[in-house]
């Protein structure tokens, strides 16, 4: 049996009614705040996310669905390796794995064993994979000396690879034919902010002043699926972006976004949310903070998980993303960003809070909230909800004043958020009753030639905004009654030869059993009554 891929799911009725209710309600709220819809592609260039979201983030380093357009670059890379490197090693080459984005080979039989990864776009995961392969190899060859680990990448990627914490891994650069060097690499969007800012730059949206945009749609991350966490999930998001003179940098925008979110959650019926708020300052503040973190981590990092050890070197701020329970007591002792904010950032943050106080939106300051994406500056926030369990962040967002420039655009401060729609719906199902509109009337055509007549009556009734369903002229009356009952229709209407001749129809109220004959012209009115 073919099933939906792991981490994806079918949304079926009656649940889809709840999704539609949520989407209609948020569209109403967005209208009241003068937001307009934007739809960007579901896939974008990989580079957009690498540059926009950040190479060190879990999302980009581990979770993206990426492929190449055109030539299969990895096979080209393997060809280059055979040509340029193979002769240097004695032993038999065995290809042990080939995914679309990496090829693993073993070379054994000579005096040394080599474990090789060929990778078009090296990321930190490839070092982990080599380590894991080494451990597996040692477990199955307990008396042998450890294998040597090799990472082979195209020359164009060598500098980037050198900056990764390679440990004992030996780096080899391969020259690859021009044209195969950097084929078009595409990625299913893991989030929508980078895409919106790309569109802002591509279409010169600064001409419109302040842009208030919203989107609803699927996003893709290769995460370990669990309740509230999927590989295809849906976000309802919004972005406010424009040149600084349009007011995009003002703390009033931050407060407006947060107040909108409180309104939106109230509107759909989510109570018991907590707004967690922080300011993560500007890049200069963060450089000083990262330095302080490096120092604080140096004596303790040995005791932390492998991810944290790497983050401590490359991007210490990301240590706060760690979910490993054993690391939490250490993370608790680290300095927080608050004491590193400069005067402007501090004032901006104070103003956001003072407007929130004025409009009576409660919030909880969390100085350890740094958010998992690299583009954030200043205000960062999350709304959490108790009923959701481990995946309790129902939405997250913040300011990204430097993102447009990082993507090659003009200065364009911005702020936005994305709600996890799956989680929002989950929180609602814990509390709300599903309200599905059932058919007002089920039409039962009775006997040959009656499908035609039934179709005419159905068309007339639907014009009056009635929900109408209908059976088939081959059904016996009992079968039609059963079908009407099953779908919860209020009335059943019988369309037989006698009724058509009289132009009046038998209409039966299913709950009370009351049956009347109603002239065709009065049918809709009668059904609408109740």
d(CA 465, CA 489): 15
Identity of the residue, 88 or 224, whose beta carbon is nearer to ligand HAM in the bound complex: 224
Q: How far apart are the first and last CA of the chain?
A: 45
Residue nearest to ligand HAM (CB): 420
- Using the rule CB under 6 A, which residue among 73, 242, 402, 420 binds ligand HAM? 420
- Using the rule CB under 6 A, which residue among 193, 211, 315, 480 binds ligand HAM? 193
Q: Is 418 in the site for ligand HAM (CB under 6 A)?
A: yes
Q: Is 404 in the site for ligand HAM (CB under 6 A)?
A: no
- Using the rule CB under 6 A, which residue among 223, 276, 351, 469 binds ligand HAM? 223
Cα-based torsion angle of the residue sequence 179, 46, 310, 336 in order, rounded to the nearest 10 degrees: 150
- 83: helix, strand or coil: helix
Q: Is 524 in the site for ligand HAM (CB under 6 A)?
A: no
State how far the alpha carbon of 407 is from the alpha carbons of 2, 4, 30, 378, 404, in Å. 41, 35, 27, 19, 5
Q: Are 77 and 101 in contact (CB under 8 A)?
A: no
d(CA 34, CA 162): 48
Token pair for 94: 């065995």
Instruction: Give the DSSP per-residue string, 237-278.
Output: EEEEE--GGGTTT-HHHHHHHHHHHHHHHHHHT--SEEEEEE
- 310: helix, strand or coil: helix
Candidates 38-46, 102-110, 190-198, 359-367: pick the segment binding ligand HAM (CB under 6 A).
190-198
Q: Is 397 in the site for ligand HAM (CB under 6 A)?
A: yes
Q: Which parts of 163-250 fold into alpha helices (H)? A: 193-202
Considering only residues 228 through 267, tell me which ones interact with ligand HAM, judged by CB under 6 A. Answer: 228-230, 233, 235, 237, 239
Identity of the residue, 222 or 288, whose beta carbon is nearer to ligand HAM in the bound complex: 222
Size of the site for ligand HAM (CB under 6 A): 26
Q: Is 278 in the site for ligand HAM (CB under 6 A)?
A: no
Task: Work out the angle at residue 170's Cα, subtended by the Cα atoms of residues 168 and 172, and round it to the nearest 5 degrees.
Answer: 165
Question: Cβ of residue 15: shortest distance to ligand HAM, in angstroms?
Answer: 15
Token pair for 430: 């814990």
Question: Cβ of residue 233: shortest distance to ligand HAM, in angstroms?
Answer: 3
Q: Is 417 in the site for ligand HAM (CB under 6 A)?
A: yes
Closest Cα to residue 198, out of 233, 244, 249, 239?
239
Cis peptide before 441 (omega within 30 of 0): no
x/- binding map, residues 323-362, to ligand HAM, per CB under 6 A? ----------------------------------------
d(CA 255, CA 263): 12
Identity of the residue, 37 or 69, whose beta carbon is nearer to ligand HAM in the bound complex: 37
Candidates 42-50, 187-195, 250-258, 348-356: pick the segment binding ligand HAM (CB under 6 A).
187-195
Q: Is 49 in the site for ligand HAM (CB under 6 A)?
A: no
d(CA 263, CA 275): 13
Q: Is 221 in the site for ligand HAM (CB under 6 A)?
A: yes
Q: Is 195 in the site for ligand HAM (CB under 6 A)?
A: no
Candidates 254-262, 306-314, 344-352, 412-420: pick the segment binding ligand HAM (CB under 6 A).
412-420
Strand bridging mode 504-509 / 43-45:
unpaired
Token pair for 345: 């950032």
Question: Cβ of residue 93: shortest distance to ligand HAM, in angstroms?
Answer: 38
Considering only residues 423 through 442, tell me which ones interact with ligand HAM, judged by CB under 6 A. Answer: 423
- Using the rule CB under 6 A, which residue among 174, 280, 395, 500 binds ligand HAM? 395
Q: Is 396 in the site for ligand HAM (CB under 6 A)?
A: yes
Provide the binding-site residues for ligand HAM, judged by CB under 6 A.
191-193, 221, 223, 228-230, 233, 235, 237, 239, 372, 393-398, 400, 416-418, 420, 422-423
């Amino acid at each position: 049996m073919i099933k939906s891929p792991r981490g994806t799911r079918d949304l079926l009725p009656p649940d889809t009614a709840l999704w539609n209710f949520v989407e209609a309600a948020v569209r109403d709220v967005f209208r009241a705040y003068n937001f307009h819809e934007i739809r960007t592609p579901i896939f974008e260039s990989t580079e957009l996310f690498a540059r926009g979201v950040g190479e060190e983030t879990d999302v980009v380093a581990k979770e993206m669905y990426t492929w190449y357009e055109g030539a299969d670059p990895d096979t080209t890379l393997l060809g280059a390796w055979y040509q340029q490197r193979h002769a240097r090693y004695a032993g038999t080459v065995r290809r042990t794995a080939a995914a679309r984005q990496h090829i693993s080979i073993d070379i054994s039989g000579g005096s040394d064993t080599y474990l090789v990864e060929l990778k078009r776009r090296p990321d930190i995961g490839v070092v982990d994979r080599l380590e894991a392969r080494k451990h597996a190899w040692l477990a199955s060859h307990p008396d042998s000396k450890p294998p040597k680990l090799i990472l082979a990448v195209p020359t164009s990627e060598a500098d980037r690879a050198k900056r990764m914490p390679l440990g004992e891994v030996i780096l080899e650069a391969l020259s690859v034919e021009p044209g195969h060097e950097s084929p078009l690499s595409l990625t299913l969007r893991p989030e929508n902010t980078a895409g919106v800012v790309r569109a802002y730059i591509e279409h010169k949206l600064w001409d419109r002043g302040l842009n208030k945009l919203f989107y609803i749609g699927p996003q893709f991350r290769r995460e370990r699926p669990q309740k509230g966490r999927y590989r295809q999930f849906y976000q309802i998001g919004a972005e406010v972006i424009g040149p600084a003179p349009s007011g995009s940098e003002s703390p009033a925008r931050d407060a407006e976004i947060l107040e909108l979110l409180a309104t939106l959650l109230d509107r759909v019926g989510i109570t018991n949310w907590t707004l967690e708020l922080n300011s993560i300052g500007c890049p200069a503040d963060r450089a000083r903070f990262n330095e302080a973190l490096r120092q604080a981590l140096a004596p303790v990092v040995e005791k932390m998980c492998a991810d944290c050890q790497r983050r401590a070197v490359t991007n210490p701020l990301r240590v706060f993303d760690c979910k490993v329970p054993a690391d939490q007591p250490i993370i608790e002792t680290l300095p927080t960003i608050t004491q590193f904010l400069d005067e402007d950032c501090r004032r901006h943050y104070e103003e956001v809070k003072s407007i929130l106080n004025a409009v009576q939106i409660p919030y909880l300051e969390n100085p350890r909230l740094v958010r998992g994406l690299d583009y954030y500056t200043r205000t960062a926030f999350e709304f959490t909800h108790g009923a959701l369990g481990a995946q309790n962040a129902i939405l997250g967002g913040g300011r990204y004043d430097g993102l447009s420039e990082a993507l090659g655009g003009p200065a364009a401060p911005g702020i936005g958020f994305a709600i996890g729609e799956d989680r929002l719906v989950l929180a609602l199902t814990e509390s709300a009753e599903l309200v599905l509109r059932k058919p007002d009337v089920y039409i039962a055509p009775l006997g040959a030639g009656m499908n035609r007549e039934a179709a005419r009556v159905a068309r007339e009734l639907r014009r009056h905004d009635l929900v109408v369903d209908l059976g088939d002229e081959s059904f016996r009356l009992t079968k039609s009654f059963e079908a009407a009952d099953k779908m919860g229709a209020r009335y059943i209407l019988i369309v037989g030869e006698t009724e058509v001749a009289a132009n009046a129809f038998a209409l039966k109220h299913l709950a009370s059993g009351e049956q009347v004959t109603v002239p065709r012209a009065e049918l809709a009115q009668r059904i609408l009554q109740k």
